[in-house]
Structure 1
Amino acid sequence: MVRDPVERVISWYYYVRAPWYFVERKQAFPELPLPSAMWLRKDYETCVLTKDRECQYREGDVRPDFAQLTEFFCGQEEKCTGFNTEYALQKAKENVERHYSVVGVLEDLNTTLTVLEHYVPRFFKGSKHLYWNEIQRFSKVNRNIYKPPVSEKIKDIVRKNFTREIDFYEFCKRRLYMQYAALKLPDN
């Protein structure tokens, strides 16, 4: 499953600042210090505009704070490490074609679940129906109330450094939509 890389990094930024994250982290690793109040209160827009190191995304940088899509799908080779690299992009695309029957897109769950049901029915038959019938029960799970909206202006600034990550995300979306079209399902 892939997600828009810029939305994903924004979500991660606020996730690691959410109160429950630090409670769980402190319980698991009591010796680690708690972050400063200033760090916790810093919003993403300020972080980007002030060119804070945390919100700088430079090609080739090693980013242990969040995993890039290309790095994940590229694999464990040393050349796969580093943010937004050409090698990781090409190898990730190759690996998706070679090793994944379906790569879903979070922003289009209907299409993802439909394709999964048809391409991998042993595991996903009925998943769309199950998801949409159960979503009401779990609609508040994994919602971060501490994540404010981020302006398109800021997202556009960040997108300039996510070129290959976005390329890979769009590649996965196109592939999913081609798989969906190949099903030749009647319009509902």
Structure 2
Amino acid sequence: MGLLRIMMPPKFQLLALLAFAVAMLFLENQIQKLEESRGKLERAIARHEVREIEQRHTLDGSREMPLDESEDVVVIYNRVPKTASTSFTNLAYDLCGKNKYHVLHINTTKNNPVMSLQDQVRFVRNVTSWREMKPAFYHGHVSFLDFSKFGVKRKPIYINVIRDPIERLVSYYYFLRFGDDYRPGLRRRKQGDKKTFDECVSAGGSDCAAEKLWLQIPFFCGHYSECWNVGSRWALEQAKYNLVNEYLLVGVTEELEDFVMILEAALPRYFRGATELYRTGKKSHLRKTSEKKPPTKESIAKLQQSDIWKMESEFYEFALEQFQFVRAHAVREKDGELYILAQNFFYEKIYPKMN
């Protein structure tokens, strides 16, 4: 190319560059169309599989017996992006065969965490009545959905993991530009942008603005409009309420192994063997963001001036305190190792006496 540039007149050099640019745009457009076609095909196949299962369910409905209580259980992990959710979800995939449950990924269009009202109804109906898939572990980037609003008798068990807000934002910033080691060949939305997170903060860029921190609160707050109003105090309080009242357990990325250990003790039907798998398995620390550079103290200080960061930080600290409270009553440390406490309640003075 360099030799051609020397030999060609400037006019032809410009034409050659324009032709090259047009060719690259055409190729990118074709790649985009192929990816969209693949997505449509995957969704069509998924819909076909669902229809087949629902048809079998309809045909066999008259012969069905009620599910055993231990089987009529659904866990929903409405995972927040960039909180080690891929690593944790892969534990569920690795264990589902041995522990005999189904794992289903909730794939929303353009990863939109808010469902339409009609999709909320469909989702609630699927989760509660799709007996062929029970017991089930659902996971996806969707905000909390209150099943009690739909009049169901048996609500799912919610779990989740959150992360320090600034660390999560930094990880997501570089993920959009450089991807990760999970799918290294996949082209990301901001690929080619070499600007560091610090440079973005210094320039007042939109990708690193404090508003981008507003994510973990709305994921826990749910499908109310106020949840997605950036900086809403009501959304923060609703997220806290849901965390305490609607979630079985919420862990933190920084203490993920402890989260896995407590889940195994609380829900062995799903997580039996999870702790050992997390410690020894190859999938325990997947999806490390490439080219990630820690932010400077100046960048952190600038973000921490925002009321949005203060709210997200308050929510994170609230979740961390609650998790540590649960952990303190569930595990003990001995010789540097944590172990789960045995059952410490029993029944006595049972009347009337049995003969």
Q: TM-score, normalised by structure 1?
A: 0.79
The equivalent of 1:106 in structure 2 is 253
The equivalent of 2:229 in structure 1 is 82
| CA shift for structure 1 position 111 | 1.9
Q: Which has the higher contact order (CA 8 A, sep 6+)?
A: 1
The equivalent of 1:179 in structure 2 is 326
The equivalent of 1:145 in structure 2 is 290
The question of whether the paired residues in 1 share the 8 Å contact of 2:162 and 2:252 is answered with: yes
Distance 1:176-1:23 versus aligned 2 partners, 3 A rule:
same
Distance 1:152-1:124 versus aligned 2 partners, 3 A rule:
farther
The question of whether the paired residues in 2 share the 8 Å contact of 1:102 and 1:119 is answered with: no
Unaligned runs of 5+ residues in structure 2 are 1-160, 338-355
| From 117, 120, 143, the counterpart of 2:264 | 117
Q: Does 1:50 align with 2:206?
A: no
Aligned residues: 171
The question of whether the paired residues in 2 share the 8 Å contact of 1:57 and 1:83 is answered with: no
| CA shift for structure 1 position 177 | 0.8
Q: How does 1:151-166 map to 2 (within 5 A)?
A: 151-161=296-306, 162-166=309-313
| From 215, 224, 228, the counterpart of 1:68 | 215
Q: Does 1:12 align with 2:12?
A: no
Unaligned runs of 5+ residues in structure 1 are 27-33
The equivalent of 2:48 in structure 1 is none
CA RMSD of aligned residues (A): 2.6
Give secondary structure in 2 for the equivalent of 1:101.
strand
Give secondary structure in 2 for the equivalent of 1:17.
helix
Q: TM-score, normalised by structure 2?
A: 0.44
| CA shift for structure 1 position 67 | 6.1
Distance 2:179 2:332 in 1: 45
The question of whether the paired residues in 1 share the 8 Å contact of 2:169 and 2:208 is answered with: no
Task: Give the number of the structure whose alpha-carbon radius of gyration is greater.
Answer: 2
The question of whether the paired residues in 1 share the 8 Å contact of 2:249 and 2:323 is answered with: yes
